Amino acid sequence: MNSPVLELALVLALLLISGLLSASELAVTSARRSRLETLADQGKRAAAIALALSQQPGALLVTVRLGVTLLTIVNAIFAAQHFTRYLTPALEGRFGLAAPTVGSVVVVLVLLLLSLVIAELAPKRLALRDPEMLALRVAPLMHLLLVLTRPLVWALDRTTTGLLSLLGVKGERQDVVTEEDVRAMVEQATESGSLEAEESELIERVLRFTDRRVRDVMTPRVELVLLDVARPVPEVLADSLRLGHTRYPVYQGNAEEVIGLVRRDDLLAVALDSQLPLREVVRSPLFVPEGAWANDVLAQLHRRTQYEALVVDEYGDLVGMVTANDLISELIGVFGDEAEEAGMLVRRGDGSYLVDASIAMHDLREVLNLPKSEDEEFTTLAGYVLSHSGSIPNVGERLEVEGWTLEVVDLDGRRIDRVLIELPPGFVPQGEWHDASS
């Protein structure tokens, strides 16, 4: 072959074949398994083949690397033999008898550069743009190559496995999708338009929900009203209507002996029977530890067809109550609107925030990302303030925490009721809240 054009065409053809192999491997291994399964279920044979190939990445890798290596060697030998003669005359004046050797080195270096671009970088970038589409197109060809090279691939694979075993590497790496991986995929899907912002936010809330303990979601005991089981139903009903709560823990003897709970609807149903003891309408509660995961408690309530659970500490003492509505609200994200309507988080005209101290820290940090403490055993803003002050603060007492200023503006006895939070310079709150004046 003495035609430079044909020689160059052959070199480029070998590079393109190498690029096709590299792109095919990446496409098959990067294609979404769920998408391939859907297409395979619809009867697309290429999808079924691609799915089978993706389940044997080791054999696929060996086949492709074998093909690319052989093509690169053949290409390098061919190019060195045929293109060196075009460079030698130009190099003889400078390198003399070494001109052919220098020419061969130059040809090989240029070929390696072309291989890097044409056979590796460009094909793989194209493959990542739509891996499923390319995987469907190349799956039959890759399957054929896998069949033809199976004996050699098996031998190479066994050799590689044996070598790794000698080095102490056992088995194949198991791909585990972490929570961070899911968040990254959701972010990419949102940026590309595959997911709506609302869908992305819902997925993020589900991920956050699985990290919540029931203590983060419950209504604390200090906000509950406990009823003595010995009290008559009419009296309890009158208090219930006056207080406005819909459910009450019930105790016997002393407030530490909680035996169940009663709903206001149950009291209304027996309101005309003044002789009925309260014990008759007390429900057997579900007791859950304060450290239980919120999603596990929601599942328990669903299985038991119950609406609420009483939360106890490690000693069995009541520390709060959680309802299915509390858990679902945390999951679907209706908290923000309710908090705003209740005045739990109010933005003032000067940019500061007047905050109900009973607000959960994880909810507050969705808007105001207060610095984290080394050991956060509290769940509310009140606990945050107490943790940093070291004692029960007085009204007007101010705390400085890494540029944030927290001022206690109201106490209810010894309980911190409201806190004024001044933001550090340059901090931009997350979310949207109405000013106090609006």
CATH of residue 406's domain is 3.30.465.10
- CB-based contact 15:26 (threshold 8 Å): no
Of 337 and 8, the structure prediction assigns the larger pLDDT to 8
Say if 288 falls within a structural domain.
yes
According to DSSP, the β-strands at 404-412 and 415-422 are antiparallel
What's the pLDDT tens digit per position in 249-280? Answer: 999 988 889 999 999 888 888 877 667 788 88
Q: Cα 277 from chain centroid?
A: 51
Using CA atoms, how far residue 227 sits from 239, 248, 405, in Å, is 10, 7, 40
Are 222 and 292 found together in one domain?
yes
CATH number at residue 274: 3.10.580.10
- Helix 197-209 vs helix 179-192: crossing angle, to nearest 10: 170
Per-residue confidence band for 174, with pLDDT thresholds at 50, 70 and 90? low
Using CA atoms, how far residue 298 sits from 228, 246, 261, 302, in Å, is 28, 19, 18, 6
Last residue of a domain, one of 283, 315, 332: 332
Of 173 and 61, the structure prediction assigns the larger pLDDT to 61
The whole-number average pLDDT for the span 300-329 is: 90
Mean pLDDT of the chain: 83
Are 276 and 366 found together in one domain?
no
Per-residue confidence band for 342, with pLDDT thresholds at 50, 70 and 90? low
Answer whether residue 339 shows pLDDT above 70.
Answer: no
CA distance linking residue 11 with residue 1, whole number of Å: 13
Say if 431 falls within a structural domain.
no
Per-residue confidence band for 2, with pLDDT thresholds at 50, 70 and 90? low
Helix (H, G, I), strand (E, B) or coil at 132: helix
Answer whether residue 304 shows pLDDT above 50.
Answer: yes
Answer whether residue 117 shows pLDDT above 70.
Answer: yes
- Length of the chain, in residues: 438
Helix (H, G, I), strand (E, B) or coil at 346: strand
- Lowest-pLDDT range of 174-188, 230-244, 263-277, 289-303: 174-188
Say if 171 falls within a structural domain.
no
The whole-number average pLDDT for the span 160-182 is: 72
DSSP-assigned beta bridge partners for residue 289: 312
- Work out how many domains the chain is built from and give that number: 4
Per-residue pLDDT at 420? 92
Per-residue pLDDT at 254? 87
Q: Phi and psi (nearest 5°) for 221?
A: -60, -35
- CB-based contact 139:29 (threshold 8 Å): no
Are 229 and 354 found together in one domain?
no
CA distance linking residue 204 with residue 77, whole number of Å: 55
Per-residue pLDDT at 436? 39
Per-residue confidence band for 172, with pLDDT thresholds at 50, 70 and 90? low
DSSP class of residue 435 equals B
Sign of the Cα torsion 186, 191, 195, 201 reads positive
CA distance linking residue 79 with residue 114, whole number of Å: 12
CA distance linking residue 177 with residue 34, whole number of Å: 14
Are 313 and 351 found together in one domain?
no
Say if 367 falls within a structural domain.
yes
Are 308 and 359 found together in one domain?
no
Are 203 and 225 found together in one domain?
no
Say if 173 falls within a structural domain.
no
* Residue linked to tokens 């009483």: 310
Answer whether residue 401 shows pLDDT above 70.
Answer: yes
Tokens of 146: 């896998």
Are 192 and 228 found together in one domain?
no
What's the pLDDT tens digit per position in 66-85? Answer: 888 899 899 888 888 888 88
Say if 172 falls within a structural domain.
no
Are 287 and 319 found together in one domain?
yes
Are 261 and 394 found together in one domain?
no
Say if 430 falls within a structural domain.
no
CA distance linking residue 348 with residue 438, whole number of Å: 10
Per-residue pLDDT at 408? 92
Q: Which domain holds residue 377?
A: 335-422
Are 136 and 38 found together in one domain?
yes
- Lowest-pLDDT range of 160-164, 233-237, 395-399: 160-164
Are 302 and 409 found together in one domain?
no
Are 146 and 187 found together in one domain?
no
Q: Cα 145 from chain centroid?
A: 38
* Nearest residue to 380 (alpha-carbon basis) of 366, 408, 364, 360: 360
Q: Phi and psi (nearest 5°) for 423?
A: -80, 150
Q: How many of the other CB atoms lie within 10 Å of CB of 214?
A: 24
Say if 437 falls within a structural domain.
no
Q: pLDDT exceeding 90 applies to what percent of the chain?
A: 13
Per-residue pLDDT at 261? 92
CA distance linking residue 216 with residue 288, whole number of Å: 13
